[in-house]
Amino acid sequence: MTFLPSSDRKHRRSPRAPLLPQKHAAAAAAAAAEPGEAGFDGASFSGAVFNLSTTIVGAGIMALPATLKQLGLIPGLAMIVLGAVLTNTSIDMILKFSRASKSPTYSAAAADAFGGAGRALLQSCIVVNNLGMLVVYMIIIGDVLSGTWSNWVHHTGVMEEWLGQHWWTSRAFLLLSTTLFVFAPLISFKRVDSLRYTSALSVGLAVVFVAITAGIAIIKLANGSITMPRLMPKLVDQTSFWKLFTTFPILVTAYICHHNVHPIENELKDPMQMKSIVRSSLTLCSAVYIATSFFGFLLFGDQTLDDVLANFDGDLGIPYSMILNDIVRISYGIHLMLVFPIVFFSLRLNLDGLLFPYAKIPIAFNNRRFYTVTAALMGFIFLGANFVPSIWDAFQFTGATAATSVGFIFPSAIALRDTHGVATKKDKVLSWIMILLAVSSSIVALSSDVYGFFNSDEGVGS
């Protein structure tokens, strides 16, 4: 009998080992384990674009009109474009250095550059970022269904509006029902490509939201009931100046999709299409963001709330406004329900890597681990959605810390480390620029939040 060395018996996962099986191994295992998934021959270009776009266009879009209220129209729109450019640059870096190190995941690329500690730190940032985002999604869904409070004013939800205030229209009950009957089935898929159809629908619903908002704003602008919003920020004192920097985490969070780039790429028929997929997704999402921000701010002006969906609860000053309000809120609420499993996919994957670094079997093929981690995460998200008071609070925390690290600091640090000698001078210059922008803006944003908290200021989006 031959005995394996003790180090082999531990089945330690190498820092470079993929958290997901590679495409062909995954397809073979899925065919054996899940007969309904047999015959998978790789994800298509369009399916990948929809999945990545859905990762990007989540809850961040709802806070963008409030960022324009803080920054003014011209600087706000310029920052949205700049965010897209920097995101494309950082993802290009991740892909370039992942291929140089033959790393099939983002965390494996971090491990190649900084060892196991680097991988664990990145995974921790992804877990914090995605948890924060999913809590935000559930908060907005709760706002849509059951209503929300802002400045001591209650903005009714659609279920309250239709059925009145009862225990079955309460926030906790509606979120629990959504968790059990919508999220539970969708987060049970073990391949990201299985969500391509729901992702396509979610992008379509986001476009419906933009189209209706734009139509209402144009009609009101034409009949003279609204005026053009402020083009530049309104600075009245030192506090209002520093508050401008608190919008940076919101813009960073709006574009975070780095954690899903590798899972999508690993399932592609042709992985070399990934750069084109990223650019196509960012172009589509930037157009949606610009239109939403411009028309949302144009429509509500200085009355724009942190979550612009909450503004769609009263008379808009045009015929059928209440019907349009309900269509807008319901369409975007469903959109977020369909975005949820995409973000949850990488959250579960990275938390598993943190908790079970020595696991021999990937989480997709260990049902006990898969469903235990899934249930624990859903429980945490559900509790967070019922106790976090504002989406701006959640965005500020995750955007200024974890999202900034995942989106800009880690890609730049990997490029500067350059363990395989493939970085160009341009890569290094861009890396230093992104690190300086990310670190300085995050420090200022967090400092401004702390200052505002101890001076009893109103929330930035109020």
pLDDT of residue 460: 40
pLDDT of residue 411: 95
Of residues 38 and 113, more confidence is placed in 113
pLDDT of residue 391: 60
166: left (phi over 0), alpha (psi -120 to 50) or beta: beta
pLDDT of residue 252: 78
% of the chain residues with pLDDT over 90: 32
pLDDT of residue 454: 63
pLDDT of residue 38: 46
Q: State pLDDT tens for residues 280-330.
A: 999 999 999 999 899 988 888 888 877 787 788 777 888 888 888 888 888
Q: Is the model's pLDDT at 450 over the cut of 70? A: no
Q: What does the pLDDT average to over 353-373? A: 89
pLDDT of residue 369: 93
Listed range (8-17, 76-85, 434-443) with the worst mean pLDDT:
8-17
pLDDT category at 448 given cuts 50, 70, 90 is low
pLDDT of residue 451: 64
Q: Is the model's pLDDT at 158 over the cut of 90? A: no
What 3-state class would DSSP assign to 459?
Answer: coil
Most confident of 25-29, 174-178, 395-399: 174-178
Least Cα distance to 345 among 205, 191, 177 occurs for 191
57 vs 199: CA distance, rounded Å: 10
50: left (phi over 0), alpha (psi -120 to 50) or beta: alpha
pLDDT of residue 34: 40
pLDDT category at 60 given cuts 50, 70, 90 is low
Least Cα distance to 69 among 247, 221, 188, 236 occurs for 247
Q: State pLDDT tens for residues 220-252.
A: 888 888 777 788 887 777 667 767 776 777 787
pLDDT category at 19 given cuts 50, 70, 90 is very low
What would the CATH number be for the domain defined by 61-455?
Answer: 1.20.1740.10
For the record, the structure tokens of 323 come out as 């019907």
Helices (H), ranges, 34-105:
45-56, 60-71, 73-100
Return the H-helix or E-strand segment holding 153.
strand 153-155
Whole-number mean pLDDT of the chain? 81
pLDDT of residue 69: 86
Q: What does the pLDDT average to over 274-279? A: 94
pLDDT of residue 90: 94
Q: What does the pLDDT average to over 11-33? A: 40
Q: Is the model's pLDDT at 218 over the cut of 50? A: yes
pLDDT of residue 89: 94
- Work out the number of other CB atoms within 10 angstroms of the CB of residue 383: 12
* First-residue to last-residue Cα distance in the chain: 71
Q: Is the model's pLDDT at 457 over the cut of 50? A: no
Q: State pLDDT tens for residues 345-360.
A: 989 999 998 998 878 8
Q: Is the model's pLDDT at 394 over the cut of 50? A: yes
pLDDT of residue 414: 95
% of the chain residues with pLDDT over 70: 81
Q: Is the model's pLDDT at 26 over the cut of 60? A: no
pTM flag (> 0.75): yes
Q: Is the model's pLDDT at 8 over the cut of 50? A: no
Q: Long-range contacts for 174-182 (Cβ within 8 Å, ≥24 apart)? A: 174/142, 174/145, 174/146, 175/138, 175/141, 175/142, 175/145, 175/382, 175/385, 175/386, 176/382, 178/138, 178/141, 178/145, 178/337, 179/378, 179/382, 182/337
Spans of all domains in the chain? 61-455
Q: State pLDDT tens for residues 78-125.
A: 999 998 999 999 999 999 999 999 998 999 999 999 999 999 999 999
Q: Is the model's pLDDT at 408 over the cut of 80? A: yes
